Chains A and B, each alone.
Chain A
């Protein structure tokens, strides 16, 4: 993945570039708006992290100009300005995401990966997923734990699919019910969600995954931390 980092603060740029390299990105650094614009237009990039407060040409202008030529390029705006107007201006100019400084690196990385997934969203990319010992193949509708096939009813499949897609985030009961409705899985009441969760939990035993109940909200799929 080659990524352009347009950031004028040398200390931040240095550290961020290093962290991104550790995370497996190839980094080019642009210390000002003019360089950033030149590089963005000349070369091809998978991703761009753009500071708004750049010298020479400000980030918003760079973004607008680049957007005209490269509407596909995912751009994450990283800025010290977090008020509503700046956000709206940034998103209007064509930013795909917006993160304010100071940030947590894991969050930045997660957002970059999400942007990448979206930009390379060929159906194949999402087709199969692995988490813990679980392998989840959507196109062939097959799942397995440590190679052992997992039998799932249509409702259980939809439920696990949803939990996997939204891993580490809360999936509400309403969302589960909606997913079932849209898949036209066999009919059933809202209160039977608990039953299905219970079944899927048992089937996931030994996979290193656990479904956590979030009081009053729904469920969350997480990888079990090694004890």
Chain B
């Protein structure tokens, strides 16, 4: 079994994976560059901060290296190093920010220095004398910054190089760079966040007319073809709204033309059908032989059926929203209407040997008031009673009932006829679908009822009765 995804998951997937949303696209195109810029700014800031921190440290290292170098004096062929104990103490004083120093004669002959040996600089070519080299290195697993100075002693013959190095831990420098970074990136992030919110709000505000238009289109009944209101739409949407309206108008026109045709055709059919009916009725009254009489009865039956069909087609056309009846909406008391219509149909029911009645057992006599088109609702009820009388068969009972069910007023017509098989309960609401070949129906009755109920924001439902029979219910929203 597949479980349907939760609405939240659905929304998330839709947001991430696809479904072309302008909102999403705009947000993506505005926020992605911002994120890249933010990252670039952080990177650049960090590097600049590190460079300035290095420069400050390098300057002080350079100075201390030169001071150290000044203490080394050539004496004859040797070197005199005058390094006071006090200076050494000062340099070794701070254990967190250790200072390293070293003097050596390359390659690697140690003369003096702090406990750890400092690596020599990587040279390309001969060392430049008197110019400090700065580089990063690691000593005792501590990252350090080193300043190295090459000096030369002695005359041209016995020329000797001395490498003087001093170094400090890089911890201080990194800390400095980080604090500069922090000081810059934090306000920057705040700014970006603010920007994002403004962009979000801007997109929402900018796209609001689109959402409004969507709601306008979405909230419509499928058969509402009135044009959209375009005055409220911004410039960019107006052309779209106009195009939509043109389309709606075209559809409306063609639907109306089609309805007019059905209407006119039905009207045109009525007179000849009336003639056919009357002529056959006359002929039936004359003395004809039995076989001819039977044929004439068939012709008459066919005429009656055609007449019924034409009337039902017109009823269906009347139930459409464009019909003239659509303008006559008023309060309708279903109870009162059921009484009237049932009473009207009793003689016809008696002719068909059907016991038609109203079920008001245990009922309060309060009106059941709905808002609607009285003639249409009457037509729906008449169709239900007509159906019941047509199909229930002689000596069945047909009972009309009215009651309130929550926010709905319900009218029900129940019969004790053969009923309709449950698998046809849905199909019979479609036009020209009949559940039986008995009777002279045309398959439009329930379609008309459904159409009318839907026009009133109501519903129609069918259910079977035990041991046999059918009940059809119309539920229409009550007037509050």
Contacts and interface: CB of A to CB of B under 8 A. Distances in A.
Interface residues of A, number: 34
Residue of B272, B325, B359 ringed by the most chain A CB atoms within 10 A: B272
B270 A102 contact: yes
Given A11-B279, A80-B268, A105-B281, A215 B358 contact: yes
Given A11-B279, A80-B267, A172-B343, A102 B359 contact: no
A220 B346 contact: yes
Given A81-B267, A215-B357, A105 B343 contact: no
Contacts of A14: 275, 279
Number of contact residues on B: which range applies?
Answer: 35 or more
A22 B347 CA distance: 24
A25 to B, nearest CB: 14
Contacts of A217: 339, 342-343, 346, 357-358
Contacts of B57: none
A22 B399 CA distance: 38
Contacts of B328: 84
Contacts of B358: 214-217
A216 B275 contact: no
Contacts of B359: 215-216
Interface in A11-32: 11-12, 14-16, 18-19, 22
A222 B353 CA distance: 13
Interface in A177-223: 212, 214-218, 220, 222
A7 B283 CA distance: 20
Nearest to B359: A216
Contacts of A53: 271
A140 interface: no
A102 B307 contact: yes
B324 interface: yes
A190 to B, nearest CB: 12
Contacts of B129: none
Contact of B281 (A19, A85, A216, A220): A19
Interface in B421-476: none
A216 B279 contact: no
A215 B399 contact: yes
A170 B343 contact: yes
B346 A214 contact: yes
A100 B271 CA distance: 9
A65 interface: no
Nearest to A218: B343
B267 A102 contact: no
A83 B275 contact: no
B285 A170 contact: no
Interface in B74-119: none
B168 interface: no
Given A15-B281, A19-B278, A220 B270 contact: no
Contacts of A96: none
Given A15-B278, A19-B281, A220-B350, A214 B343 contact: yes
A52 to B, nearest CB: 11
Contact of B343 (A9, A169, A212): A169
A215 B355 contact: yes
A168 interface: yes
A42 interface: no
B350 A216 contact: no
Contacts of B307: 102
A82 interface: yes
Given A214-B346, A216-B358, A80 B279 contact: no
A80 B271 contact: yes
Residue of A53, A85, A215 ringed by the most chain B CB atoms within 10 A: A215
Contact of B278 (A12, A85, A100, A215): A12
A38 interface: no
B273 interface: yes
Contacts of A212: 350
Interface in A49-64: 51, 53
A172 B339 contact: yes
Contacts of B399: 215-216
Nearest to B281: A105
Contacts of B325: 83-84
A199 to B, nearest CB: 23
A194 to B, nearest CB: 15
B56 interface: no
A105 B278 CA distance: 8
A9 B347 contact: no
B53 interface: no
B282 A15 contact: yes
B185 interface: no
Interface string B330-350: 000000000100111011001
B380 interface: no
B180 interface: no
B271 to A, nearest CB: 5
A69 interface: no
Contacts of A215: 355-359, 399
Interface in B292-330: 303, 307, 310-311, 314, 318, 323-325, 328
A216 B361 CA distance: 8
Nearest to A171: B343
B279 A83 contact: no
Nearest to B278: A15
A170 B356 CA distance: 11
Nearest to A78: B274
Interface string A86-121: 000000000000001111010000000000000000
B360 interface: yes
Contact of A80 (B270, B285, B356): B270
B346 A18 contact: no
Contact of B272 (A11, A172, A220): A11
A102 B274 contact: yes
15 contacts: A12-B272, A80-B271, A81-B267, A83-B324, A84-B325, A100-B311, A101-B274, A170-B344, A212-B350, A214-B358, A216-B342, A216-B360, A217-B358, A220-B347, A220-B350
By Cβ-Cβ distance, the 5 closest A-B pairs, closest first, are: A215-B357, A216-B358, A15-B278, A12-B275, A11-B275
